[in-house]
Amino acid sequence: MKKSMNVLEYMRSLTPIDTHDFSQSILSEWTQHWLTHYCNNIKESTLSSYDTAVKLHINRVLGDVRLTELTSEDVQLFVNSLSMGVGIDELLSPKSIRNIHGVLHKCLSVAVTAKHIHDNPADSTILPRVIKPDIQPLTPAQLQRFLKAIKGHNKELLFTVAVFTGLRQAELIALTWDCIDFDSGSIYVYRQLVKEKGKGGTYKFTSLKNNKTRRLYPASFIIHQLYAAKCSRRSNSEYVFTNSKGTHYTHYAVYNSFIKVARKIGLEHTRFHDLRHTYAVLSLQAGDDVKTLQENMGHHSAAFTLDVYGHCTDEMKRASSCKMERYVSQQFQTVLNTE
C-alpha cells in the first residue's frame, strides 16, 4: 500500500497558484494571473483571443492601474478610447470592442469572486451598439443559377452539401467518412478544422462552436451523392472532401473557388456563409420548426435562431394568415355574415 500523502499539497505542487493578496497589484499582474490559472479549461483558440485582448488592449491602457483602484469611469474611458481609435492603428468594430470588454469583465469577475475587489467596475459600461448585418440567403432564382454553375466543378459536392445541410465551412472541411452513417442516412458533426494563427499556421481539429455536437438527417439525395462519391473515390483519404493530394481543403481554397463561381453568375456580394443562411431559410419554408432548425444549425439557443431568421417566420405567418382567411371564408361565411 502506498504511503499516505497530502493530496492537496501534491495538487498544489502540480499547479501552484499564487495566493498572495492582489490588493496592492496593478491590473496587468492580475490579468496574467487570471490567464495562467483560471483559463485552463477553455479552447485553445478562445484562450488565444483572450491573450490578444489582454496584451494588445487591456494592459496597454489599464495595465498600470492598481486593481483595487480601477473604477467604472476608467473602464468607460478605455472602451471610449477603443471606439475612437486612440492609440491603435485602425478603428475596431463595435463587436470587437464588446468582445474585448467581455474579456475584461470575465477577468474582473474572478477578482470579485476571489475577494480581491468588492465590485466589478466593468458592470456598468455603456458599450457601442452593434448593427446586425442583414442576412443574404440566395433567392430561388439565384440558387438555381448557382447549382447549375457548379455542375462538374471539383467542389460541386462540397458546395451542394453546404447548401442543403447548413454546415459551417470549418465543419465541412473537417468531415471524415466515419461521420457519415449511410444506413441511418445521417451525418454526425462533432469537430471542425481551424488554422492556427500566425504565418505558416497548421490546421488542427477543435471542438465545435458552442461545443454543440449534432446529428443531421439531410435530404436523401445528399446521402446518395456522398455514397456515390465514396464508391468512386480512388484515394484512401479519411476526409470526405479532398484536393488532388488527397488531403482536406483549406479555408482559402474553398473561399477562392466559391468567389469565382459567385462572380461568374453575378453574385459578387454573396459570401460562402450565405449558403448556410440559404439552408436555414429553405428549412423554414419547408416547414421545419425553429427548435429543429436550431439543433440542425448548431446554434446555442432557439432564441438566437429566431432572432436571426425571425423575418422568415414573419413571412410564413403572413402566408398562414392568408390560408386561415380562405378557410374561414369557405367554412363559416354564412355564420359570419349573419348578425
List the CATH number of the domain containing 30: 1.10.150.130
- Residue 262 falls within a domain, yes or no? yes
Lowest-pLDDT choice from 89-93, 116-120, 291-295, 316-320: 316-320
Rounded to an integer, what distance in angstroms lies between the CA atom of residue 58 and that of residue 51?
10
- Residue 299 falls within a domain, yes or no? yes
This prediction's pTM: 0.74
pLDDT of residue 9: 76
Would you place residue 253 in the very low, low, confident or very high pLDDT band (cuts 50, 70, 90)?
A: very high
My answer on whether 74 and 30 are in the same domain is yes
User: Can you give 6-64 as a three-state secondary structure string?
Assistant: CHHHHHHHHCCCCCCCHHHCEHHHHHHHHHHHCCCCCCHHHHHHHHHHHHHHHHHHHCC
My answer on whether 255 and 210 are in the same domain is yes
pLDDT digits over 300-317, tens only? 998 988 888 877 766 677
Beta bridge partners of 66: 26
Cα-trace Rg, the chain: 26
pLDDT of residue 15: 60
pLDDT of residue 19: 58
Which cell is 188 given?
454526425
- Residue 330 falls within a domain, yes or no? no
- Residue 332 falls within a domain, yes or no? no
pLDDT of residue 17: 54
My answer on whether 203 and 107 are in the same domain is no
Which cell is 236 given?
484512401
My answer on whether 107 and 256 are in the same domain is no
**Residue 253 sits in a domain of what CATH number?**
1.10.443.10
- Looking at the predicted structure, is the pLDDT value of residue 339 above 60? no
My answer on whether 302 and 264 are in the same domain is yes
My answer on whether 65 and 101 are in the same domain is yes
My answer on whether 33 and 91 are in the same domain is yes
Would you place residue 95 in the very low, low, confident or very high pLDDT band (cuts 50, 70, 90)?
A: very high
- Count of the separate structural domains present in the chain: 2
pLDDT of residue 198: 63
Bigger pLDDT: 198 or 127? 127
pLDDT of residue 327: 83
Q: Quote the domain boundaries for residue 77.
A: 20-113
- Residue 131 falls within a domain, yes or no? no
My answer on whether 193 and 260 are in the same domain is yes
pLDDT digits over 217-236, tens only? 999 999 999 999 999 988 88
pLDDT digits over 133-189, tens only? 778 999 999 999 999 999 999 999 999 999 999 999 999 999 999 999 999 999 999
What residues contact residue 195 under an 8 Å CB cut-off, 6+ apart? Answer: 201, 202, 203, 250, 251
- Residue 271 falls within a domain, yes or no? yes
Q: Which of 76, 94, 113 is the last residue of a domain?
A: 113
Percent of the chain with pLDDT over 70: 93
Report which residue type is found at 181.
D
Strands 214-216 and 186-189: antiparallel
My answer on whether 161 and 202 are in the same domain is yes
Lowest-pLDDT choice from 104-108, 268-272, 284-288, 290-294: 284-288
My answer on whether 41 and 107 are in the same domain is yes
- Residue 118 falls within a domain, yes or no? no
- CA proximity to 280, closest of 131, 136, 148, 145: 136
Average of per-residue pLDDT values in the chain? 90
- Looking at the predicted structure, is the pLDDT value of residue 338 above 60? no
My answer on whether 104 and 153 are in the same domain is no
My answer on whether 68 and 104 are in the same domain is yes
pLDDT of residue 212: 85
Bigger pLDDT: 327 or 228? 228
Would you place residue 335 in the very low, low, confident or very high pLDDT band (cuts 50, 70, 90)?
A: confident
pLDDT digits over 13-58, tens only? 776 555 567 888 999 999 999 999 999 888 888 898 999 999 999 9
pLDDT of residue 321: 80
Would you place residue 201 in the very low, low, confident or very high pLDDT band (cuts 50, 70, 90)?
A: confident
- Residue 170 falls within a domain, yes or no? yes
Percent of the chain with pLDDT over 90: 66
Bigger pLDDT: 325 or 15? 325
Would you place residue 1 in the very low, low, confident or very high pLDDT band (cuts 50, 70, 90)?
A: very low
